[in-house]
Amino acid sequence: MAKSSSLVTKVSAQRRRRVHRPRRSPTKPERAAAAVALSHEKILLAGVDAAADMFGSLAGCPSSPEYPVVPDMDDRDVDGAVDDAPAAAAGRRASDETLAVHAGEKLGSGAAETDSIATPIVSGTTHWFRDSADLIAFREGRRRSFEYGRYGNPTVKVLEEKISALERAEATLVTSSGMNAIVATLLALVPPGGHVVATADCYSEARAFIRDKLSNMGITSTFVDLDDDMEALECVLDESEVTMFYADSMTNPHLKVVDVTRVAELCHRRGALVCIDSTLASPINQKPLALGADVVLHSATKYIAGHHDVLAGCVSGSEALISRIRAWHHDLGGAISPNAAYMIIRGLKTIALRVEAQNRTALRMARLLEKHPKIERVYYPGLESSPWHGVATRQMAGAGGVVSFDVASDLRGVMRFVDALELPLIATSLGGCESLVQQPAVMSYWGKSEEEKAKNGIKDNFVRFSFGIEKFEDLRDDILQALEKI
């Protein structure tokens, strides 16, 4: 051991002695060899990207091209997120896995200028300037800085750049909740006298705000059902001057998928904006902006934060549109705290790993439940039997971690099933590490009329299951034993 220790000491000492030699330009043969090596590296990277395709990686799924990577996404440079990155990194597109880790930090503007690996929490609510000239430079956009916490924060800026990179967006605004992002977006982009067309099954609180609150501001609304085709939307677009089309894709809890590309074509032809709430899909599974949408919303509480411990929302799009939304957001005052932003940054770094695991578990479980004698119907766009399977495979890289299903029983029987589950928690929300389960007739719709439940497709035997990152076999065994209790 003594001999080995002295050897290590000797080698270490040799490594510390550096000889400084003048650099020389590479010769022509060396440049040619380097070009060949770079070409081989690109081929290897392409193979890695192909292997990372979400749908293709799910057990039992056919490989590409039946489940393609989302069109155009993989070839786009994230210009808005990596302007100041080294030239070598800017020359090729980073993957979602890499962007989730480095965007806004090593790949980004360096808003939280530091050499710390972990993003610092800048808790100060106000920022000072060296002198009047410094302040004027900031006001004129010649100096990057911050002024007041409600208008921006270095920690929050890192999070916004990270989400922009994942969404392939020019800009992102992070807010204190998903609902705050929805309200700020609608108020900023739909003027008095405007007209909003929304899907009948969009988020219930967004639907109520559009129907009840916007109407008090002179804004009209129409709710359409896109279950069969686009005829209802086309009719409204032909008959009215529509300002915005608003929809969730996927929808909650029935997991319907809007054909974003087709909707964008129809709406843009008539001058209407397209806003997609992509919360249930996550930025990993779907890129609405790349499909033609103008803005994309998320309840960042769900997949983006991923740990059931922080409340937030976000909206991404062009710099021009996000600037308009940001101005309203400043007035509404829905700023997120730097501590919450840090928690989301920390959670977001594993989003690709989490979502891939949730995609895989959900699809395997949906297939298992579809064949179970005590299950009447399974709602999941990853299943070939789903009416939304075709559009999902065209525009999504995975079908998400939520599976809904009808149990062959009544209200009390399904309550026994839910109560017999040992792993999932009976709770609302979704997208976190822990699996959650709910019977909407007992949770969200308890005390509601039969008419209202029927209108929203909520039956007494309907269950929504949000899968976490637990081992599939453990969840499978738990669900099977609980079904036996019916």
User: Domains of the chain, with CATH numbers?
Assistant: 94-346 (3.40.640.10), 351-482 (3.90.1150.10)
This prediction's pTM: 0.79
Catalytic residue among 67, 203, 303, 445: 203
Query: For residue range 393-409, what is the model confidence (pLDDT) as tens digits?
Result: 999 999 999 999 999 99
pLDDT band at 359 (very low <50, low <70, confident <90, very high): very high
Q: Residue 110 above 70 pLDDT?
A: no
How many angstroms separate the Cα of 153 from the Cα of each of 18, 146, 312, 366?
Answer: 42, 6, 15, 42
Euclidean distance between CA atoms 90 and 71, whole angstroms: 21
Catalytic residue among 74, 96, 248, 277: 277
End-to-end CA distance of the chain: 66
Q: Can you tell me the mean pLDDT for 91-120?
A: 77
Catalytic residue among 106, 150, 324, 349: 150
Selected residue with higher pLDDT from 389 and 81? 389
pLDDT band at 108 (very low <50, low <70, confident <90, very high): low
Catalytic residue among 93, 256, 302, 459: 302
pLDDT band at 287 (very low <50, low <70, confident <90, very high): very high
448 in active site: no
150 in active site: yes
- Which residue bears the tokens 């982009």? 189
Euclidean distance between CA atoms 205 and 142, whole angstroms: 41
With CA atoms as reference, report the closest residue to 397 among 79, 90, 99, 166: 166
92 in active site: no
Q: Residue 9 above 80 pLDDT?
A: no
Query: For residue range 220-238, what is the model confidence (pLDDT) as tens digits?
Result: 999 999 876 788 899 999 9
Phi, psi of 86 (to 5 degrees): -55, 150
Average pLDDT over the chain, rounded to whole? 83
198: left (phi over 0), alpha (psi -120 to 50) or beta: beta
Q: Residue 300 above 80 pLDDT?
A: yes
**By the 8 A CB rule, do 316 and 163 touch?**
yes
